[in-house]
Amino acid sequence: MKKTSEKARQRRKLHIRKTLSGTELKPRVYVYISNKFINVACANDDTGKVIAGMRTSKNTQSAGKVGEEFGKKLMELGYTKACFDRSGYKFGKRLTALVDGIRKSGISI
């Protein structure tokens, strides 16, 4: 059977999620990239609840802005640390801008 890029991403995602887990003190920030948007959300895997989430268009500038806004939202909720789950995507320009925006707001990743 022919491997596609989506199957390869799913394989990488499962490999990452085996060791990565969010807790109440250090939630998991995860990303989903569609054809039009970048979705970022934060989850507590102990309770299985999503804490916060945001969506942006797919360009690099808006990813950085949403990263800062998302980090501020987490700070308002009382979180100072988080672990980042790239969901098997390559850590390229958009994800780098998103994570840098979250770090600028004071969240330690």
Q: What is the pLDDT of residues 11-53, one digit of tens each?
A: 888 888 788 888 889 999 999 999 899 999 999 999 999 999 9
Count Cα atoms within 13 angstroms, Cβ side, for 106: 10
pLDDT band (50, 70, 90) for residue 1: low
Task: Quote the pLDDT of residue 3.
Answer: 73
Q: Does residue 86 lie in a domain region?
A: yes
Q: pTM here? A: 0.84
Q: Does residue 109 lie in a domain region?
A: no
The domain in which residue 68 lies consists of: 5-104
Sequence-ordered list of residues with C-beta below 8 angstroms from that of 24, at least 6 positions apart, any chain: 44, 46, 47
Structural domains of the chain, count: 1
CATH number of the domain where residue 73 is located: 3.30.420.100
Q: How far apart are CA 87 and CA 69, in angstroms?
A: 21
Q: Report helix, strand and coil shares of the chain as percent, to nearest 5.
A: 40, 25, 35
pLDDT band (50, 70, 90) for residue 9: confident
Tokens of 2: 């022919």
pLDDT band (50, 70, 90) for residue 77: very high
Q: SS3 for 30?
A: strand
